[in-house]
Amino acid sequence: MWVFLIFLSTSVSAQVYNSEVEAEIQLNRNTEFLEVTGFAYNRTRISQSLEYVLTIFRTDENGNRSKKEQSNRFILQPGEKIVLSSATIDAFDPSKMIILLLIYNIDKELLGKDRIVLNDDSEDERIVLAPNEDSDVRTEFAASDGVELRGIVLEDTKTKPGRDFYREYISAYQRLQINGPKVVTVKEVLAIANNTKIEVIIDNEVIMEFFVRPQNDYISGMAEAAIGRSIAYFEYLEKQKNIVRRY
């Protein structure tokens, strides 16, 4: 199994992954455990029929190797980001661990991949976390030249349906660990004939607005759509940040 993985990484190194479907692993420390969560994000405008494999390879101090694997098929809608799988590991285990997430299409072509290595000081690894380091590994990506506030969602609602929408939105935002670099405001404003409408605002930009209805299915659907637009907007900001402008 290990030989196969080495061959795979060598033979397809020229390909571009995570451009259509992005694989992402996030780790969160919870007292004595690390929670491993795998995500998939559809960057395209078409539905995708996919399969994921989340594997944790472990090599202990005596050189003994083991692995745990989870896999399943799933459908990913355009612009949708979902939780694929989760697992927990001992935060104080000194063993070297490789956490690997692979996402394939129905033709078994590899579209997305992500990897995190624990307890190894190799310079070429994406993230290295010492066994007793008391931190969320996402802080490895924080800005190094100042304080950066991320993942903030503000509420300014007036009615129960408006508050219900906010709860649906923030629940999905936190479940998917979006952690956006800009403040999101869920604002309810007066509209025509004493009706109200919801505005989802990011960085003073209204990314979505709709008239409020009290039906639960409608509110849930709007929250799901708003989450999709929020992810797309944060993705747009990231792309804009990486563009080199020439005058």
pLDDT per residue over 158-214, tens digit each? 899 999 999 999 999 988 988 888 889 999 998 887 889 999 999 889 999 999 999
- What's this model's pTM, rounded to 2 decimal places? 0.60
With beta carbons less than 8 A apart as the criterion, state whether 29 and 91 touch. Answer: yes
* pLDDT band for position 224 (cuts 50, 70, 90): very high
* 217-238 average pLDDT score: 92
Q: Which amino acid is at 158?
A: K
Q: Taking the C-alpha atoms of 243, 234, 112 and 34 in order, what is their torsion angle to the nearest 10 degrees? A: 120
Q: Categorize the per-residue pLDDT at 149 as very low, low, confident or very high, splitting at 50, 70 and 90.
A: low
What's the half-sphere exposure (Cβ side, CA atoms, 13 Å) at 60? 7
The pLDDT, as a whole number, for residue 245 is 47
Any idea which of 85-89, 91-95, 137-141, 209-213 has the lowest mean pLDDT? 137-141
Say if CB 84 and CB 38 are below 8 A apart.
yes
pLDDT at 30 over 70: yes
Query: For the stretch 1-30, what's the b/e string if a residue is b when 16 or more beta carbons lie within 10 angstroms of its beta carbon?
Result: eeeeeeeeeeeeeeeebeebbbbbbbbeee
What does the pLDDT average to over 112-121? 84
Percentage, residues of the chain above pLDDT 70: 80
Contact 119, 106 (CB under 8 A): no
Alpha-carbon gap, residue 98 to 115, rounded angstroms: 7
Residue 15's pLDDT is 53
